[in-house]
Amino acid sequence: MIMRKRIVAGNWKMNMEIGSARELARSVCNDLATRADLGLGKGKEVVLFPPYLFLPEVVEICREFVGIHAGAQNCHQEGKGAYTGEIAASMIKSVGATHTLIGHSERRSYFGEDDELLAKKTKAAMENDLTPVFCCGELLPEREANNHFEVVKSQLVNGLFWLEEVAFRHVVIAYEPVWAIGTGVTASPEQAQEMHAFIRGLVKEQYSEEVAENLTILYGGSCNAKNAKELFSNPDVDGGLIGGASLKAHDFLQIIEAL
């Protein structure tokens, strides 16, 4: 039986201040509270990923609403220690967050995070009952060289496939073609479906068809109110990891409506 969750996640990145963050979270939650037709909590979820400083307040705002959660944009691989400026998964869990992003392309690119490190971060997240939203995706030169499938396979094999099946069942994967993030260029629905189906096929080979069919795979990469419906209509695209379009409540709601 397929019980695949459909999710729209908003990655706020390094944007806003506490007042605007509070206002955005309340606006999104209040708008969604009036939309029973969206089916939140019944196989559909919304997850907000604010900057760390705003996470406790966003958690409290989301707590009152069914099917709306808050998560962190990153976590450290160690449980505690002399890591000035870092945030442990246990700290994220302690404020009531439920998810964390792992391996966003900006973390890989700007901060040099590799697959070995991301595997450790995934382990830390799962040890603290956080749902890891594991990001994967290729650079433009890698796609142009027709190496995009091998790149994504390598990221998943090294970063995730060491997990036992019972743990892997709690993972969400986000495919984000790096060439489409913040560029205004979006992977075509056909390109998105092709990669999502490829990822699901890898999971089937590693684990089982049942695990693969129940895995949630999100698309991230200039997804917006105009193209979300076409992207989400693909059979293997289970929602989106939304960047810039998640910073405006009206636009974000339109994307959720497309789910």
Q: What does the mean pLDDT of the chain come to?
A: 96
Which of these, 102, 93, 35, lies nearest to 68 by C-alpha position?
35
62-116, pLDDT tens digit by residue?
A: 999 999 999 999 999 999 999 999 999 999 999 999 999 999 999 999 999 999 9
Q: Which of 156, 93, 153 is nearest to 126 (CA)?
A: 93
Number of domains present in the structure of the chain:
1
Tens digit of each residue's pLDDT (9 = 90 or more) over 125-139: 999 999 999 999 999
Residue 136 is predicted with a pLDDT of 98
Kindly state the percentage of the chain with pLDDT values over 90. 93
Residue 10 is assigned to a structural domain of this protein? yes
Pairing of strands 68-72, 172-175: unpaired
Position 2 scores a pLDDT of 65
Q: For residue 166, tell me if it sits in a domain.
A: yes
When pLDDT is cut at 50, 70 and 90, the band that residue 118 belongs to is very high
- Per the annotation, the verdict on 104 as an active-site residue is yes
At 15, the pLDDT band (50, 70, 90 cuts) reads very high
Looking at 69, 104, 148, 196, which residue is catalytic? Answer: 104
Residues 172-228: tens digit of each pLDDT: 999 999 988 777 777 899 999 999 999 999 999 999 999 999 999 999 988 999 999
250 is catalytic: no
With respect to residue 234, please indicate whether it lies within any of the assigned structural domains: yes
**Cα–Cα distance, 23 to 181 (Å, whole number):** 25
Cα–Cα distance measured from residue 54 to residue 11, given in angstroms and rounded to the nearest whole number: 13
Q: Is residue 204 part of a domain?
A: yes
For residue 175, is it within any domain?
yes
DSSP bridge partners of 135: 174
What interhelical angle do 18-33 and 55-63 show, nearest 10? 20
Domain with residue 32: its CATH number is: 3.20.20.70
* Cβ atoms within 10 Å of 136's Cβ, excluding its own: 28
* Domain-located, residue 75: yes
Residue 1 pLDDT > 70:
no
Cβ within 8 Å of residue 143, ≥6 positions away: 177, 179
1 lies in a domain?
no
User: Is residue 60 over pLDDT 80?
Assistant: yes
User: From CA 258, how far away is CA 139, in angstroms rounded?
Assistant: 27
What domain range includes position 155? 6-257
Q: Which of 69, 76, 176, 196 is catalytic?
A: 176
CA atoms lying within 13 Å on the CB side of residue 88: 12
Q: Give percent of the chain above pLDDT 70.
A: 99
